[in-house]
Amino acid sequence: MSSFADQVAAQIPSSTRMISGCHDTQTSADANITAFELPNPAGRRGGACTAALLQVLYNKQGGESWVDVLRMMRANLEEGGYTQVPQLSSSKLIDVNEEMTIVENPSGTKRAVLIGINYVGQNGELSGCHNDAANIKKYLINELGFDERDMKILMDDGRHTNPTYANIMAALDWIVRVSQPGDTVWIHYSGHGGRLEDQNGDEDDGYDETLIPVDFQRAGQIRDDDLLKHLVKPMSAGVTMTCLMDCCHSGTVLDLPYRFVADGDHVEMERNDGFDLSSWMDVAEAAIGVAIAANVIGDVADVASECCNIL
C-alpha cells in the first residue's frame, strides 16, 4: 500500500504552500499599514497579515527559515496589537527550519493572481484590501522579478477586473492552464472570509471555509472544495505555488494535509489531525452539482459581524 505522502502527491502533483493570517476560528483585521513601516505603501490601510508578512520579507537578511518568517510575522502582529496566529500549510511535508523560498526555479515563468475586495458601497465595506493587492504586486515585481503581464489583478475599484465569483474562478483556471513545470505561482487574496455548513462530510468541524467574492449575494461564496477542485488539485507537477490568504477563517481554506502554527509551541510541520484523505480524494466529484443557491446568501454586513475587525 502506498504511503500517505504518496497518496497526497498523486492528488496534488504541485508543491503548494499557503500562509494564512489566522486559524479557522479566528478573525483577521484591517490595519494602519504605515505602522508596519512598509516601503512606499499604496495606502494607509491594509490587511494586518499582508502588512506583517511584507514587513518581514522586505527586512530579510537572507537565510531566514519558514519558522523565522512566521514567528517574525506574529511578533509584528503582536506589536500592532493583533492576536492573530499565522500558520503555514502545505501539500508536502516541509522542513520548516530550512530557508523560506518563494521562487525555486529562477528560470521558470513567474505568474500571480492578486485579489483585493473592499466591497465598495456594501455594508461591511473594508478599506485596505486594494492596498494589499497593490503592495503585494509591487513586492513581486521589484523584489522577485515578476512581470505584470503575467498577473491577473482583480479589485472592485472600477479599474481592474471585478472580483466576482465567475471572474475569480476564471483567473484561477487561467493560472492552472498556463503554468508549467519549473514555474512559480503566487496567489493572494485579501477580503472577507467565511464559513458555511459542510455539504459533503469532508470537514472535521462540519464547516467549509470560504472566500467571499464581491457578488456573493447573487453568486454565492467560494468554498474550500471549489479551490481544491479548480486550483490545488489540477496545478501541474513541478510548479511551486505559494498562497497568501488574508481573511477570516483562512487556516484550512485550501484543505492541505500538513501545517505549522507559529504559536511558539510548534517547532516543525505536522500532519493536520483533521485531514481525512479518503473523503478529500472525492471532494471534487462530490461537489459537482451542488447548487449555488445552497450557499448562505445575505448582506456582507452579516459576514463582517463575525469576520474582519474593521479598525
Distance CA 18, CA 258 (A): 10
Residues annotated catalytic, as ranges: 192, 248
Helix (H) or strand (E) holding 178: helix 165-178
Strand ranges, E, within the chain: 15-20, 30-32, 45-47, 87-90, 110-116, 151-155, 184-190, 193-197, 207-211, 222-223, 240-246, 258-261, 270-271
The residue written with cell numbers 498556463 in the block is 178
Closest Cα to residue 133, out of 225, 45, 12, 231?
A: 45
Other Cβ atoms closer than 10 A to 156: 25
- CA quadruple 212, 213, 214, 217: dihedral positive or negative? negative
Strand-strand pairing, 193-197 and 207-211: antiparallel
What are the φ/ψ torsions at residue 288 (nearest 5 degrees)? -65, 135
Distance CA 49, CA 68 (A): 15
Distance CA 52, CA 74 (A): 8
Distance CA 227, CA 267 (A): 28
Closest Cα to residue 118, out of 105, 99, 132, 106?
A: 132
Residues 6+ apart with CB under 8 A from 288: none
Distance CA 213, CA 228 (A): 17
Distance CA 305, CA 45 (A): 19
To 10 degrees, the CA torsion angle through 201, 202, 205, 210? Answer: -110
